[in-house]
Amino acid sequence: MSDGRVKTGSATWKAFVLTPVLLPWLLFAAPDPLPAASDLWIENGSTLAAPTELRQLSDALSKLVEGLRPSVVQVGIIDKRDIEQELPPGHPEIPDERPRVGSGFIIHPDGYVVTNQHVVARSNRVEVELFGGEKAVATVVGRDARTDLALLKIDPPRPLTALPLGDSDALKVGELVLAIGNPFGLDYSVTMGVVSRKGRAFGAGGPYDEYIQTDAAINPGNSGGPLLNLRGEVIGINTATLPTRRVGFAIPINLAKTLLPELKELGKIRWGFLGVSIQELTPALSQALGVDGRKGALVSSVLPGQPAEEAGLRPGDIIVEFDAMTIADVRDLQRKVGRTPIGKTSSIKILRRGKEEEFSIRVGEYADRTVAAAAEPSKKDLGLTVETLDQGKAKEFKLKEERGLVVTEVAKNGPAAHAGLRPGDLIKEVNQQPVSSIEEYRRLLSESIKGDIDLFLIKRGDLVLYVAVRSKG
């Protein structure tokens, strides 16, 4: 009679012991072996492979980027109290950058780094992080808010590789470009696109903002990083983007090359300065002034004690030449004067009441405290009420002056409104004649020799500008 034991070789096991051990294997059988990889996917090429040329381009781009990224850095502000931005006039809006990190790139192995001025804001010291992760405190060697450029200097913790600077004038619309930087704090990101346009300008006050426009993605954090051609040369400095649109803007590197030596030497850019407020000539203004064409820059005010006043310029003069160079418009004059050496005696040709006159003028130095902004051209085309200024009206319109004439009402959709006049505007001249009383105002309007168009010189805050108003009928 069996005792329920099973002998297997030298070991003896009770049969019931096998049951709990074997049962799980019986209920949950091991799966079959996984199918071979070749049963699910294809490896090592396909008949749909890109042409050899495209694959070569892809490999070449990867190799190029691999060599470029180590020369790009992160730039961060050490003192968050210095975060206030200073932008050149007309600069595209800068999106809020979170985290507060910008970009830059090495231009010299000694540790010189270029970035945007708005990235470093008012700080004198910023933190730079290199591609390998090393961090160094950088000194702001020089900055210029007008062009949004800043030059930094670090003590290199190791040998650095600088990026070569190219020729942005040779850049072609449609050319492929790369943008490298730290968008949204995502370090060393690369995007590719084409040059969409050259010479893109914003506003009337910034003569040096002729940006390179590109569809290469430029996002918050990219500011100050390089825009490169496929030769690995920096042809622009990424500075702005239009919010919600895939449009980016870069400062041409040729502009930076003209300014960097002066930033290194002086810590700032010394811009030439005449001491005038100027505005564009519109057809209505040209007609009111009795001049043909629209070339030149109209002087709307002359600052006291500045070069233009000393030279004899007056409001109403049209500057048509500077140093024997024809002046096309406001930007053209600003650009030519801006890069004229401080103290140089230049020639300036004007039209005054239709007659040419020439003066010598000693170029001064631009300073924020003395320069009046260039006026925006108005939409010119009389539905307005003009009253004698008194204490009550001065208080109502928050004016410093308490004498003169003030615009108190402007009819909606009337000629004055179309011309850009507003309640609170002070009227200084009518048809180039000083006016201080209602009687003078009415007389000058009735004696107008321009027919249906009258020229006003107004003061609005600190801005003085001409406005041409075309009456109905």
So where are the chain's domains? 72-269, 272-365, 384-470
CATH architecture for segment(s) 72-269: Beta Barrel (2.40)
Please compute the mean of the pLDDT values over residues 433-450 and round it to a whole number: 77
| Residue of 71, 168, 196, 223 marked active site | 223
- pLDDT value for 449: 54
Residues of the chain with pLDDT > 90: what percent? Answer: 40
- pLDDT value for 305: 84
Nearest to 424 by CA among 463, 381, 454: 463
Instruction: Please say whether the beta carbons of 181 and 197 come within 8 A.
Output: no
Instruction: Kindly report the CATH number that applies to the domain delimited by 272-365.
Output: 2.30.42.10
User: With 50 as the cut, is the pLDDT of residue 143 above it?
Assistant: yes
Q: How far apart are CA 460 and CA 473, in angstroms?
A: 28
Instruction: Please say whether the beta carbons of 253 and 236 come within 8 A.
Output: yes
User: With 50 as the cut, is the pLDDT of residue 97 above it?
Assistant: no
The domain 384-470 is placed in CATH, from the list 2.30.110.10, 3.30.70.890, 2.30.42.10, 2.40.420.20, at 2.30.42.10
Q: How far apart are CA 255 and CA 208, in angstroms?
A: 8
Nearest to 220 by CA among 129, 51, 135, 98: 98
Beta strands in 27-146 (DSSP E): 72-77, 101-108, 112-115, 125-129, 135-144
Q: How far apart are CA 313 and CA 301, in angstroms?
A: 9
- pLDDT value for 137: 93
Told to judge if 167 belongs to the known catalytic residues of this protein, a careful annotator would answer: no
Beta strands in 47-188 (DSSP E): 72-77, 101-108, 112-115, 125-129, 135-144, 149-153, 176-181
The two tokens of residue 443 are 């007389």
CA angle at residue 140 from 133 to 150, to 5 degrees? 95
- pLDDT value for 348: 95
Give the tens place of pLDDT for each residue, 296-334.
999 988 888 889 999 999 999 999 999 999 999 888 898
Give the tens place of pLDDT for each residue, 3-40.
444 444 444 444 433 334 444 444 445 555 655 556 77
Q: How far apart are CA 47 and CA 452, in angstroms?
A: 76
- pLDDT value for 83: 46
Give the tens place of pLDDT for each residue, 172-218.
999 999 999 887 767 788 999 999 988 776 544 455 668 899 988 88
Residue 104 forms beta bridges with which residues? 73
* Residue 342 DSSP one-character state: T
Q: How confident is the model at residue 418 (pLDDT cuts 50, 70, 90)?
A: confident
| Residue of 118, 123, 196, 301 marked active site | 118
Give the tens place of pLDDT for each residue, 242-268.
766 678 899 999 999 999 999 999 999
End-to-end CA distance of the chain: 133
pTM comes to 0.65
User: With 80 as the cut, is the pLDDT of residue 228 above it?
Assistant: yes
Does the fold of domain 272-365 match that of domain 72-269? Answer: no
| Residue of 103, 144, 148, 346 marked active site | 148
Residue 459 forms beta bridges with which residues? 426, 464
Burial per residue of 55-89, b for 16 or more beta-carbon CB atoms within 10 angstroms, e otherwise: eeeeeeeeebbeebeebbbbbbbeeeeeeebbbbb
Told to judge if 292 belongs to the known catalytic residues of this protein, a careful annotator would answer: no
Residues of the chain with pLDDT > 70: what percent? Answer: 78
The two tokens of residue 204 are 């009337």
- pLDDT value for 448: 66
Told to judge if 91 belongs to the known catalytic residues of this protein, a careful annotator would answer: no
